[in-house]
């Protein structure tokens, strides 16, 4: 019997696609993430599976690659992504899917967010005269890297928001959306803030990686978030060179870079947190923003000030930056910056609370409110 006729076809030929099929046995398909130009091991994957008929199949990775609510999935193009499980999902490397008949399902390690999603977001703001979208630069592959500005009146200051220095960290994009929507809204505090400071956002620093489904993390010889003072000096990536130029042109008071942590578990991967920078000058400001985040983030996606990870603790040590300087560290060293930081946003849960695009957008609105308070 032809086994391929009775097992699901697996294809990475989807936007952001990424997977390697290691083998098949019975009703199990063995898989691994495609590391491409990243060193070591990371956990991003996304594929489409065509099921031949009713039945249960198992997808099994060779190392941890399944998060705390199982895979994200959608049943048809254009349908909403959701987690396989609303409750904690035990396995970090395997999941099963029961097809009710011949069907096509797309699976991903996380809920994806691409430039098409950003385009939908921008379209939803059409008609808002405060919002404009232009080009930061061209990517290595010739894509237009977008730059969004929110501006009212003649603000004297600026804040800079960045996202996707690491291509696959898509949950951070929903937080950015939530923050930008709040900052462009009629809310009186948002209005007061944008009259003081223009908001400038780079939604995809590694646009090529986000579109092509790369890990982004740990690219060789260094990734986008180690491209601000790498040995040798010049930027490797045109987006980072452009962001660096923007930093000097805008002289922002605050620069916040949104990321996602490791897949699951450990002391820091299942709650949001600020990542301390080795910069004594800005440390009091980081503490202040942390307490404002605790006050402003919503109950569905809460933030605890005590979760800030100081420089020197756990993974956040000089050894982690041996390949080059991060955006947050580079910006913190600029004398005009009051505060520059990385904000880590988990993929699927903040402790016991399951996260969805909607709740993480609400978290982003909380971040915007905290930033407004910070500058007030």
- Site of interaction with Zn ion (CB under 5 A): 166, 169, 259
Q: Catalogue the E-assigned strands of 221-346.
A: 254-259, 273-275, 339-344
- Looking at the Cβ atoms of 164 and 194, the one nearer to Zn ion is 164
- Looking at the Cβ atoms of 60 and 177, the one nearer to Zn ion is 177
Name the minimum Å distance from CB 36 to Zn ion: 17
Q: Catalogue the E-assigned strands of the chain.
A: 9-11, 20-25, 28-32, 46-51, 55-61, 72-74, 82-83, 94-99, 103-108, 131-138, 144-150, 157-163, 197-202, 254-259, 273-275, 339-344, 349-350, 353-354
- Looking at the Cβ atoms of 151 and 166, the one nearer to Zn ion is 166
Three-class SS state of 177? helix
Name the minimum Å distance from CB 261 to Zn ion: 8
Residue with tokens 């949001």: 272
d(CA 101, CA 51): 8
Name the minimum Å distance from CB 259 to Zn ion: 3
- Looking at the Cβ atoms of 224 and 361, the one nearer to Zn ion is 224
At residue 167, φ and ψ (nearest 5 deg) are: -55, -45
Name the minimum Å distance from CB 130 to Zn ion: 29
Name the minimum Å distance from CB 38 to Zn ion: 12
48, 337, 351, 361 from 365: Cα distances, Å: 33, 22, 19, 6
- Looking at the Cβ atoms of 42 and 59, the one nearer to Zn ion is 42
């Amino acid at each position: 019997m032809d086994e391929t006729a009775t097992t699901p076809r697996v294809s990475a030929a989807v936007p952001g696609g990424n997977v390697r099929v290691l083998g098949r046995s019975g009703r199990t398909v063995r898989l691994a993430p495609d590391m491409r130009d990243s060193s070591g091991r990371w956990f991003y994957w996304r594929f489409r599976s065509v099921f031949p008929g009713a039945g249960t199949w198992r997808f099994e990775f060779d190392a941890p690659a399944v998060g705390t609510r199982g895979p994200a999935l959608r049943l048809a193009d254009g349908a909403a992504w959701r987690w396989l499980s609303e409750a904690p999902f035990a396995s970090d490397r395997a999941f099963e899917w029961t097809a009710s008949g011949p069907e096509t399902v797309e699976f991903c390690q996380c809920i994806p967010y691409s430039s098409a999603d950003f385009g939908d977001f921008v379209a939803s703001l059409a008609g808002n005269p405060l919002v404009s979208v232009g080009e930061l630069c061209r990517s290595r592959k010739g894509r237009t890297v977008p730059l969004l500005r929110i501006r009212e009146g003649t603000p004297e200051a600026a804040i800079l928001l960045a996202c996707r220095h690491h291509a696959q960290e898509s949950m951070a994009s929903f937080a950015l959306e939530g923050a930008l929507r709040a900052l462009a809204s009629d809310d009186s505090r948002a209005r007061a803030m944008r009259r003081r400071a223009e908001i400038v956002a780079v939604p995809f620093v590694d646009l090529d990686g986000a579109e092509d489904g790369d890990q982004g993390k740990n690219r060789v010889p260094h990734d986008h978030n180690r491209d601000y003072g790498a040995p040798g000096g010049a930027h490797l990536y045109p987006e980072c060179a452009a962001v660096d130029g923007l930093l000097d042109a805008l002289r922002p008071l605050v620069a916040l870079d949104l990321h996602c942590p490791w897949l699951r578990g450990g002391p820091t991967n299942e709650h949001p947190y600020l990542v301390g920078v080795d910069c004594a000058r800005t440390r009091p400001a980081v503490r202040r923003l942390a307490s404002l985040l605790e006050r402003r983030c919503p109950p569905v996606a809460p933030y605890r000030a005590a979760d800030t990870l100081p420089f020197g603790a756990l993974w956040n040590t000089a050894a982690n930056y041996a390949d080059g300087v991060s955006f947050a560290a580079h910006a913190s060293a600029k004398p005009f910056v009051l505060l520059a930081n990385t904000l880590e946003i988990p993929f699927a849960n903040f402790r016991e609370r399951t996260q969805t695009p909607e709740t993480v957008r609400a978290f982003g609105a909380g971040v915007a409110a905290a930033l407004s308070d910070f500058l007030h």
